[in-house]
Structure 1
Amino acid sequence: MHTVRIETALYDDVELVYQDDSVAGYYLSTPSSRVTFVRTGPQTADRTPLGTRRSTDIRATVGGDPIAVQLGSARVVKRSYRVRLAYRDRVLMLAAKDLESSALIRGDTDRGNDSFGDLTREYDGGVSAFWGLPFTFLRTKLEPPTPTADEALVGMTAAAAFGTGGLSVTTIAMSALSSVLP
């Protein structure tokens, strides 16, 4: 068992508890409200902290309520690294932004004002959160949403369980091109 304490910057600190087949997260002030991802099948993915990218081999709960988890295959395109989480009439998505970080999005798509911010899984198992700031686009001020305590906890625990970031075809092509051309 391995535990990591992380700061949310919005709510209380979160403690992540890693075991061989599960990752759990809870706020230190309310340990009874817990998010848990459990691998129910064999370990099939060495590079995924939880050990699988098969949705059928995952059982997840938030405060005892089930979370429906849909995982991408984590192959060549960034879209394949997405993690969709549905619970209590809410939908969250972790979508790879670059090699190391993923956006935590409310709903199935980001229309520009649905992203809470970026999450990055650290090497020690912690998760760094960079919550969105207001910005102006085409003379329109966009205010990113603030996640509820449950949304932040579910997103951060999912980032710990499945990792963040992903390779893109563009990155692979540019690396291949730069290795061929001096």
Structure 2
Amino acid sequence: MAQMQDCDDDSADFTAAVVETGIYGEADLTHRDESIFGSYREGVPMTVTISRTGPRTSDKVPIGTRTAANLRAGIDGREIVLDPGRARLFKRSYRVGIQYGGRTLTLRAKNLEDSALLDGPSDRGDNEFGVLTRVFGGGVEVLWSLPFTMMNRTIEPPTPTREDALIGIVVAAAFGTGGLSLTTIVMGAVESILP
């Protein structure tokens, strides 16, 4: 599990957090109103940036919008194409599609608080890198998937590249993690009606 340290400075217009990736060392996240930057502290320098180019249209999303046309993202000068869902009634609508350098990743809501980082556009059952959780202060906790057995077969989850891991962490910081499901909404309504 990753650790997060809040490094908020009252005199600055940004918030910084440190994320322990568990496999690639520590990463710094820097949040400004219109952008989020992430970079590793160790190894080959690498920076992921997500910026809002239009107005803030949502206070529920850390980056301020889920409109793809109002977002710009990149990793070391190379473009990252983001396709965020609308985050409405269904858990599926909280997905964020990520494409860069011929790769496709997906950040998919798993429950109210967590999202799974997937290798590919959908969940095949054997392509989950791990679970990311955005925490108070803007950090992200990371829990990478472990091998598991299903029907007498051991499933070995994929290991994210350094780029995959950093992109997933920055996307989770920018859009948040988790999402409501229709079942959760219906159960909440039923519980509030019945004594």
Q: TM-score range by the shorter chain?
A: over 0.9
1:141 to 141, 146, 154: 154
Query: Is 2:185 the counterpart of 1:172?
Result: yes
Q: The residue matched to 1:66 in structure 2 has which SS?
A: strand
What secondary structure sits across from 1:160 in the alignment? helix
Give the share of equivalent positions with the same residue, in percent. Answer: 48
Which of residues 7, 27, 37 in structure 1 aligns to 2:40?
Answer: 27
Work out the CA distance in 2 between the residues paired with 1:24 and 1:162. Answer: 13
Name 2:170's counterpart in structure 1: 157
TM-score, normalising length from structure 1?
Answer: 0.98
1:93 to 70, 90, 106: 106
Q: Find the aligned partners of 2:21 and 2:140 in 1 and give their Cα distance.
A: 9
Q: Secondary structure at the match of 2:146?
A: coil
Q: 2:80 aligns with which of 64, 67, 86?
A: 67
Check if 1:103 corresponds to 2:130.
no
Deviation at 1:31, TM superposition (A): 7.6
Aligned CA distance change for structure 1 residues 123 and 17 (closer, same or farther; 3 Å): same
TM-score normalised according to structure 2 size: 0.91
The more displaced of 21-30 and 44-53 is 21-30
**2:54 maps to amino acid:** G
Residue from 54, 60, 64 that aligns with 2:67: 54
Residue 3 of structure 2 is matched in structure 1 by none
Q: Report runs of 4+ in structure 1 exceeding 3 Å deviation.
A: none
Give 1:30 shift: 4.8
Gaps of 5+ in 1: none
Shift of 1:32: 3.7
Where 1:167 maps in the other structure, the secondary structure is coil
Task: Give the Cα separation in 2 of the matches to 1:93 and 1:169.
Answer: 21
Give the residue type in structure 2 aligned to 1:63.
D
Specify the alignment match of 1:8 in structure 2: 21
Secondary structure of the residue aligned to 2:105 is strand
Structure 2 residues without counterparts, runs of 5 or longer? 1-13
Judge which range, 127-136 or 26-35, deviates more: 26-35
1:54-86 Cα offsets, whole Å, 9 max, x none, are 000000001110001101000010000000010
Q: In structure 1, give the amino acid aligned to 2:52.
A: R
Q: Hey, what's the Cα distance between the residues in 2 that align with 1:112 and 1:32?
A: 32
State yes or no: 1:132 paired with 2:145: yes
CA distance in 2, matches of 1:30, 1:121: 24
Aligned: 1:122 with 2:129: no
**CA shift at 1:130, angstroms?**
0.8
Secondary structure at the aligned position of 1:152 is classed as helix
- 2:93 aligned with 1:80: yes
How far does the alpha carbon of each residue in 1:149-169 deviate from its partner, in whole angstroms, 9 at most, with x for none?
Answer: 110000000000010000000
The one-letter amino acid paired with 1:23 is: I
